[in-house]
Amino acid sequence: MDAGTLSSIVTVVFFVLFIGIVWWAYHKNNRKKYEEAANLPFEEEDDGAGGRRA
């Protein structure tokens, strides 16, 4: 196997891996989890510190 063939195989493998990751990230079963994570910065904590963190 020469370098060109190996390069082609690696390119195809990484392309398939990329498509798999994109499919997983945008799959509708993950939507609720990502919406909850997106709203985390807007949630208020009631830790009794008066809004300040030490």
Q: For residue 49, what pLDDT is reported?
A: 59
pTM to 2 decimal places: 0.58
Cα–Cα distance, 33 to 14 (Å, whole number) = 26
Nearest to 20 by CA among 44, 12, 4, 45: 12
Mean pLDDT of 2-18: 97
Instruction: Provide the pLDDT for residue 47.
Output: 64
pLDDT > 90 in the chain, percent: 48
Write out pLDDT tens, residues 13-35. 999 999 999 998 888 888 888 88
Q: State pLDDT tens for residues 34-44.
A: 889 999 999 88
